A and B are shown apart, each in its own frame.
Chain A
């Protein structure tokens, strides 16, 4: 059922069993789990069914840290949320991502990869992905021409990706509208959360929109699913009853903001052209592709963060022109070598024609890496308020020396392996050449993956939510989404967001049925 909250009378009271705040990947995934249950689910979306610039501007905020895109840029504030423009890249976190690592401050999840595996599998259905299998050998048999570079598997492995085209606003609207026990309210922006007198339980949330009217939603359980920045903002805004904001007795809310650093880090120049489709991705076409990743034991030995390097065909501007290069040596009469170079090209072209993948001669190596959890990288409130009266969020994204040195080391290891196996040579970008320089270039960007602001820990001093994603000290308030990630791993977060949301959904079901 769909209700446009702009059409409600002022001060309407909405009541249900479960209240989900936010209708994006996390919120809708949870709502779907409750269809045909005996429980009334209220699904609140601050925007409408389509993009609305006025609502989008409610995400506006400021920035005091590293260069960061406008907060209105990456998130989408309407039904379906950011799935409305995501690239669909999915891969699970690795086992090491869940572990406490003594060289990564504040690392470690209170759950393991094994705990999450059944939910990853279910998330594959929700995200309309293929089988829950990320083994390179499996995909090599499924898809032709996934020829991996011949590297030492004890050092470098092929981390596989699958690609979803699930735009929740398109694929799940009808299902939600037709569900008898799901009540979707659009233009229902939550601006306040009210707890009981002891601040141990949530009583209600306040909903507003541009009509100027205010409504109240009461439920037994409340799940915040607004994204990592907005969830932190909302908890911090609720400071009438709790001075520092709800769930923030230990000043953790908003801290440990994380992004995936995505930056061209090096170039791979190959001695021989190599036919493969493994590293290619085309939206809507590619079923699976791979990236170079560092084995867990090597990460432990080198004391580095977990990251991958994706291979992108080098742009024409920077790519070597083989003919020009060969001509530059021709006058020095090293013909025997040049002849073999030409022969290798001809052979590779033949291989490509026989369907062994496209011929590649050079790649840009783009890192995608977790950042070390950093309490100074954080979301806070500003004195500016949005049009519904909510203080805006300030972003202070910060990186550390470990982030920088890990990227350099990862590409050093890749470069070493590439050379050992006679594939070519690797060239670091200029900003990664000085091992003593911890700074990042101004054009450093993230993947628009916002994580960590309501991190998970069973110790209330170290986390906002416990292992069940329940806010410490508030028995019926939960957070869904990547804000709960204590560390980010290398992969894009949506698959893990959905898996974690399904796990949370099961937990709330177990509680409500008691």
Chain B
């Protein structure tokens, strides 16, 4: 995904976030990537840090290198009627509580967050 395309897509983010997952399945993968963006991290990271973290995660976990696999892992067990953003937030909380934590470039991240970064970095390499 080119940056200009991403700008366009993010401008529709507020509306898209509210779409139930059952509908979401019919959206294209770029929309999924947008919705799976690591929301909390913009409080502490800039754009480049998300990309660098995503690239490093892909190096560490080569099996998850493609978009489809990352999306599948991120949406695993997603309930059909929940909002996606709430589902992801809960998943991140659970990761931390259960110790599903990975260290990427020194950052102690939930595995879900790290996968979000990896997915986001893929969009920038296209």
The size of the chain A interface, using a CB distance under 8 A, is 33
Decide if A474 is an interface residue (CB 8 Å cutoff). Answer: no
Decide if A333 is an interface residue (CB 8 Å cutoff). Answer: yes
Q: Do the beta carbons of B48 and A412 come within 8 Å of each other?
A: no
A416 to chain B: which residues have CB within 8 Å? 96, 99, 101, 108
B96 to chain A: which residues have CB within 8 Å? 416, 419-420
- Chain B residues numbered 97-121 whose CB sits less than 8 Å from any CB in chain A: 97, 99, 101, 103, 105-110
Decide if B73 is an interface residue (CB 8 Å cutoff). Answer: no
Decide if A429 is an interface residue (CB 8 Å cutoff). Answer: yes
How many contacting A-B pairs (Cβ < 8 A)?
77
Decide if A114 is an interface residue (CB 8 Å cutoff). Answer: no
Q: Do the beta carbons of B40 and A271 come within 8 Å of each other?
A: yes
Q: Do the beta carbons of B93 and A420 come within 8 Å of each other?
A: yes
Q: Do the beta carbons of A333 and B10 come within 8 Å of each other?
A: yes
Cα separation A426 to B44 with both chains bound (whole Å): 11
Decide if B23 is an interface residue (CB 8 Å cutoff). Answer: no
Please judge, given known A-B contacts A427-B108, A433-B103, whether A420 and B42 are in contact too, CB under 8 Å.
no
B6 to chain A: which residues have CB within 8 Å? 332
A329 to chain B: which residues have CB within 8 Å? 42, 46-47
Decide if B62 is an interface residue (CB 8 Å cutoff). Answer: no
Cα separation A320 to B42 with both chains bound (whole Å): 12
Please judge, given known A-B contacts A412-B108, A428-B106, whether A334 and B13 are in contact too, CB under 8 Å.
yes
- Chain A residues numbered 257-286 whose CB sits less than 8 Å from any CB in chain B: 266, 269-272
- Chain B residues numbered 63-93 whose CB sits less than 8 Å from any CB in chain A: 93
Q: Do the beta carbons of A430 and B106 come within 8 Å of each other?
A: yes
- Chain B residues numbered 1-30 whose CB sits less than 8 Å from any CB in chain A: 6-7, 10-11, 13-14
Interface string of A325-337 (1 = CB under 8 A from B): 1001101111011
Cα separation A412 to B44 with both chains bound (whole Å): 19
Q: Do the beta carbons of A325 and B101 come within 8 Å of each other?
A: no
Q: Do the beta carbons of A328 and B47 come within 8 Å of each other?
A: yes
A324 to chain B: which residues have CB within 8 Å? 46
Please judge, given known A-B contacts A425-B108, A430-B106, whether A325 and B45 are in contact too, CB under 8 Å.
yes
Cα separation A419 to B40 with both chains bound (whole Å): 11
Decide if B52 is an interface residue (CB 8 Å cutoff). Answer: no
B13 to chain A: which residues have CB within 8 Å? 333-334
Q: Do the beta carbons of B40 and A325 come within 8 Å of each other?
A: no
With both chains docked as a complex, state the minimum distance between the C-beta of B119 and any C-beta of chain A, in angstroms: 15
Decide if A415 is an interface residue (CB 8 Å cutoff). Answer: yes
- Chain B residues numbered 43-58 whose CB sits less than 8 Å from any CB in chain A: 43-48
Of the candidates A415, A420, A425, A432, the one whose C-beta lies within 8 Å of that of B97 is A420
Q: Do the beta carbons of B10 and A332 come within 8 Å of each other?
A: yes
Cα separation A459 to B91 with both chains bound (whole Å): 54
Q: Do the beta carbons of B43 and A419 come within 8 Å of each other?
A: no
Cα separation A419 to B94 with both chains bound (whole Å): 11
Decide if A341 is an interface residue (CB 8 Å cutoff). Answer: yes
Q: Do the beta carbons of A334 and B10 come within 8 Å of each other?
A: yes
With both chains docked as a complex, state the minimum distance between the C-beta of A109 and any C-beta of chain B, in angstroms: 33
Please judge, given known A-B contacts A419-B108, A425-B108, A429-B106, whether A412 and B101 are in contact too, CB under 8 Å.
yes
Cα separation A427 to B44 with both chains bound (whole Å): 11
Q: Do the beta carbons of B106 and A333 come within 8 Å of each other?
A: no
Of the candidates A338, A424, A430, the one whose C-beta lies within 8 Å of that of B44 is A424
A332 to chain B: which residues have CB within 8 Å? 6-7, 10, 47
Q: Do the beta carbons of A427 and B14 come within 8 Å of each other?
A: no
Interface string of B29-44 (1 = CB under 8 A from A): 0000000010111111
A411 to chain B: which residues have CB within 8 Å? 108
Cα separation A411 to B101 with both chains bound (whole Å): 13
Q: Which residue of chain B is the closest to A427 with respect to CB atoms?
A: B106
A433 to chain B: which residues have CB within 8 Å? 103, 106
Cα separation A157 to B40 with both chains bound (whole Å): 26
Q: Do the beta carbons of B47 and A425 come within 8 Å of each other?
A: no
Cα separation A429 to B108 with both chains bound (whole Å): 11
B109 to chain A: which residues have CB within 8 Å? 425
Interface string of A423-462 (1 = CB under 8 A from B): 0111111101100000000000000000000000000000
Cα separation A338 to B13 with both chains bound (whole Å): 14
With both chains docked as a complex, state the minimum distance between the C-beta of A110 and any C-beta of chain B, in angstroms: 37
Of A320, A333, A341, A432, most buried by chain B (CB within 10 Å of CB) is A333
Cβ contacts A to B, 23 pairs, < 8 Å? A269-B44, A270-B44, A271-B40, A271-B44, A328-B48, A329-B42, A333-B10, A333-B13, A334-B10, A334-B37, A337-B43, A412-B108, A415-B101, A416-B101, A419-B96, A424-B43, A425-B41, A425-B107, A426-B107, A426-B108, A427-B105, A428-B108, A429-B106
Residues on B facing A (Cβ under 8 Å): 6-7, 10-11, 13-14, 37, 39-48, 93, 96-97, 99, 101, 103, 105-110
Residues on A facing B (Cβ under 8 Å): 266, 269-272, 320, 324-325, 328-329, 331-334, 336-338, 341, 411-412, 415-416, 419-420, 424-430, 432-433
Nearest 10 interchain pairs by C-beta: A415-B108, A328-B46, A271-B43, A269-B44, A428-B106, A419-B96, A427-B106, A420-B96, A333-B10, A325-B46
Starting from the known contacts A332-B6, A415-B101, 13 additional A-B residue pairs (CB-CB under 8 Å) come to: A269-B44, A272-B43, A325-B46, A329-B46, A329-B47, A332-B47, A333-B10, A334-B42, A336-B14, A411-B108, A424-B43, A424-B44, A432-B106
